[in-house]
Structure formats: structure tokens, C-alpha cells
Amino acid sequence: MQKGKDLNAVKDALKKKAAFGPDIDIDSFDEGTYEPEGVDDLEDVSSELKDRMVNVGVMPSEEARSGTIMFIDNGMCHCSNRAQEGLELMSTRDALAEHDWLSEYSWKAVDPSKDKFTAKSYLEDSDGYFIRVKAGYHVKDPLQTCMLINKNKAIQNLHNIIIVEEGASLEIITGCTTKKNAEESLHVGVSEIYLKDDASLSFSMIHNWGKATGVRPRTNTILGKNAKYINNYVLLNPVGSMQSYPGAYLNGEGASATQNTMCLAHGGSDIDIGGMVVLNARGTSAEIMSRSITKGEGRMIARGRLVGNANGAKAHLECRSIILDDGGVTLAIPELESSVADVEMTHEAAVGKIARDQIEYLMSRGLTEDDAVSMIVRGFLVGGIKGLPDNLKKEIDEAVAKANLGS
């Protein structure tokens, strides 16, 4: 637990509902495992676990990866570093014990009294992963992390810290999932990300939960001068309740942030997701792009907020949704706020359906109706979104193909 925090305020926050999304009783969940059995070689895990990993973009072979961090429930079971020089990987607790200076970053980007989920993580001194790229170092291959829930009706409670130092760059692929017998669980992931001057980070999250899983990520990113941040979030499989509203704070001149969200709300899924970018310095820029689809009686809320606090800031917000079936609910909530005159901020929002003539045209070219709908959906999800890694596009294609969207 970090010093300097108002402990009473944090304890009071244990009763504080999140600002958005359905309330969840965190006391109804058991504690997940804290000391899972270590995994030396990811190729040796069970076939079920291996399939779950691959479905969220995590390669057991670690081919074309700079390293891998894996957590089962609340404990680290694997940590490998192929990049070695310039890249530091370990658990958050180990990092805080090894680096005295890290206390200046821990719980500084995310307020532990924000809601019951951050409060629980802070008060229980949750572990997680620590990633640091040293100044001037460019990590060639993506780093992959995997968060797996193994115990049913348990809470996975993690606190992650990422620091990309001056002039350094990194790409992270994070896959989060559950085992088949652990779908009635809760994931809470607090992530604090710091990008120093001229640093660059591409951070892609692929989630594949269960039909009854609760998911509550809490992420904030702080950017220095000319820092560049791209955040991609993909959720295309059923989930119980998902609520996330990551923030990016552009504090250095010339910093830029892009948040891309691609979600499919299946029947029974309740998704409330979005993002906020605060432009605090001259010449900063931001883009929030949301693509969402509802199927059956799925519920989808897409939020986006841009705050312009400095002259010369430019930003764009776009929320587009498709409703495949009657009974689904979608709500787009774009917000623009400015406290200065010389800013340029725009937004677009659209809700609609797939045109029947598009489907019939593709069917006339030999596609089945399911294949035609899937092709249109794939184009809708990735169309107009810049900076998507090729491997992420592949994961989106495969997930859409499995979703039976035309039926």
C-alpha cells in the first residue's frame, strides 16, 4: 500500500459504485489463486488453455514476440524476456521492492478512491505486471501478456504499471480470458501507463470472456512531449457485463493519442465502454474511434469524451453502430469540452443497419448470407481505423467468422 493516500477516503470508496455500468457486488466473489504453479514453457500447458491463449492473440510458441507475461488468477506463472537489453519485466510487487523511485508512479495515474474496484485493488496491495522500456530502446517484436481466470466465482484483481522512457518504443498485445469452468467470475485490472518525451506505445487488448463474466478495467495514460499512444480494444465474444472508460492525459506539447474500440454485444451481454482524452498542452492531437454491433438482445453504450485545455489542440471523435436484430439496444454518447478558444474538435455519431442490397449483392457473387454479413461486419469494424497491427486484423477476422452473425 502506497503512502500519502487518504486511507479513509479509499476505504469509503469500497461502497462507491462506478460512474457507469451496472453495479457489481465484489463481496460475492471468492479470492482467486495467488500462487499458481509456474509455467516454464507455454507449449506445455493444457490444450484447453493453449486454445484460450491463441483466441486472444497470445502465442504459446512465443514466436515473433519479445517476451511474455502470464497471470493465472492473481499470481504470475510465467515471465520471459527475449529482448533482454532495454526491456525490464517483472511483477509489480517485485518492481516496487527493487526500485525505490517506482513509488512516484504507483497509484499516481489512477486514483484509488475512484470507485469500489480501484479501492479494493489498492487496499489489498494487488500484484500485477511491471513493464519498463529504457530510454532510447526500440523493442523490435511485440510483447505479449495474458490474464487468465482459472477459478470460478472468483475475482482477478491486478495492478499493472507500464513505463516507456524517453525516445523508446514498444508494442504490447494483451489477451484476457477465462477457462470454461470459470466464467462466473470478475476481472479487475488497474493499469497505469507513462510515456515519457518522444516515447511511443501501441497497446492492443483482445478480450474473450464468458457469458457471465464481469469485467472492470481501470486504465489511465500520462503522455509527455511528442509522445505517441495507440490503444486498440477488441471484444467480439459474449460477456456478462463489461464497463471501461480509459483516460489519456496529453501533458506534453505535440503528444498524440488514438483510442480504437471494436465491440460486438451478443444477446445477454451488457457493454458500457468508451474513452476520454484530455489535451493539456499546445499542439496535442487525439482521435477516438468506436465501432460497435449489437446482436439479439445485446446492450451497447459507446462513450467518448474530448477535453481541450490548450490552444492549438486538434481532436476527432467518431461513434458508429450497427444493430443486426430487433431487441438490441445501442447508445452513442459523444462529448466535446473546451476551455480555450483556439481548438479544433469534431465528432460524428451514426446508428443503422446493414443494407439488404449489400447482402444480396454479395450473395449473387456466390457467398452465403452468413458469409456476406460477416464480410460486411469485418469491413465495418476495421474500416477507417488507422494503425491496427496486421495480427490484430487477423484476430478480428477469425472472431467474426465464429460469431454466426447472419443467423
Ordered by start, the domain boundaries in the chain are 7-360, 361-407
- pLDDT tens for each residue of 190-244: 999 999 999 999 999 999 999 999 999 999 999 999 999 999 999 999 999 999 9
Residue 93 has pLDDT above 90, yes or no: yes
Q: Is 7 helix (H, G, I), strand (E, B) or coil?
A: helix
Residue 4 has pLDDT above 60, yes or no: no
Residue 359 has pLDDT above 60, yes or no: yes
Report field, pTM of the whole predicted structure over 0.85: yes
Backbone phi, then psi, for 116, in 5-degree steps? -60, -30
Residue 385 has pLDDT above 90, yes or no: no
E strands within 63-138? 67-72, 75-81, 87-91, 129-133
- Specify whether the CB–CB gap between 179 and 205 falls below 8 A: no
Residue 328 has pLDDT above 70, yes or no: yes
End-to-end CA distance of the chain: 50
In the structure, what pLDDT confidence band is assigned to residue 1 with cuts at 50, 70 and 90? low
d(CA 119, CA 38): 29
In the structure, what pLDDT confidence band is assigned to residue 2 with cuts at 50, 70 and 90? low
Q: Which of 382, 363, 380, 361 is nearest to 371 (CA)?
A: 363
Name 240's Cβ contacts closer than 8 Å, sequence gap at least 6: 184, 209, 210, 211, 212, 213, 214, 215, 268, 269, 270
In the structure, what pLDDT confidence band is assigned to residue 354 with cuts at 50, 70 and 90? confident
- pLDDT tens for each residue of 47-88: 999 999 988 989 999 999 999 999 999 999 999 998 778 999
Q: How far lies 226's CA from each of 53, 135, 136, 250, 340, in Å?
A: 34, 14, 14, 9, 21
Average pLDDT across the chain, whole number: 92
Cell of residue 407, nine digits: 443467423
Instruction: Specify whether the backbone of 131 is left (phi greater than 0), alpha (psi in -120 to 50) or beta.
Output: beta
Q: Give the pLDDT confidence score for residue 384 in this predicted structure.
A: 63
Cell of residue 395, nine digits: 484476430
- DSSP H stretches of helix in 87-146: 92-98, 116-123
* Residue predicted with more confidence, 285 or 349: 285
Q: Is 91 helix (H, G, I), strand (E, B) or coil?
A: strand
